[in-house]
Amino acid sequence: MAMEPDWEDLERRLTALPVRKLRQLGRTWFNGALGGASTKRDMAHAMASQAEHWWKRCADLGGRKRVRNVMLALEQLEEG
């Protein structure tokens, strides 16, 4: 079983992204799942919360794989 991500760290990393990159990640992986979040902080919080939901409640539907893909995409955005 894969180790559960640190959700607070994920939110911190998302908040550290420039808005342009945060929106790019949001469009690719969270489109329609952000509940109308408009500020950078709200978007980062909604993304981390949604990822945690996928991890804990949707594991049997591919949620953990989706979270791993989000984490990989985040790493790529952080690198440049």
Is the Cα dihedral 53, 57, 58, 63 positive or negative?
positive
How many domains does the chain divide into? 1
Q: What is the pLDDT of residues 3-48, one digit of tens each?
A: 999 999 999 999 999 999 999 999 999 987 888 888 999 999 999 9
Is residue 20 one of the residues assigned to a domain?
Answer: no
Q: What is the pTM of this model?
A: 0.91
Is residue 4 one of the residues assigned to a domain?
Answer: yes
- What per-residue confidence (pLDDT) applies to 33? 84
Does residue 1 have a pLDDT over 60?
Answer: no
Q: How far is CA 69 from CA 17, 55, 74, 75, in A?
A: 17, 12, 9, 10
- What per-residue confidence (pLDDT) applies to 62? 93
- Residue-number span of the structural domain to which 54 is assigned: 1-13+38-80
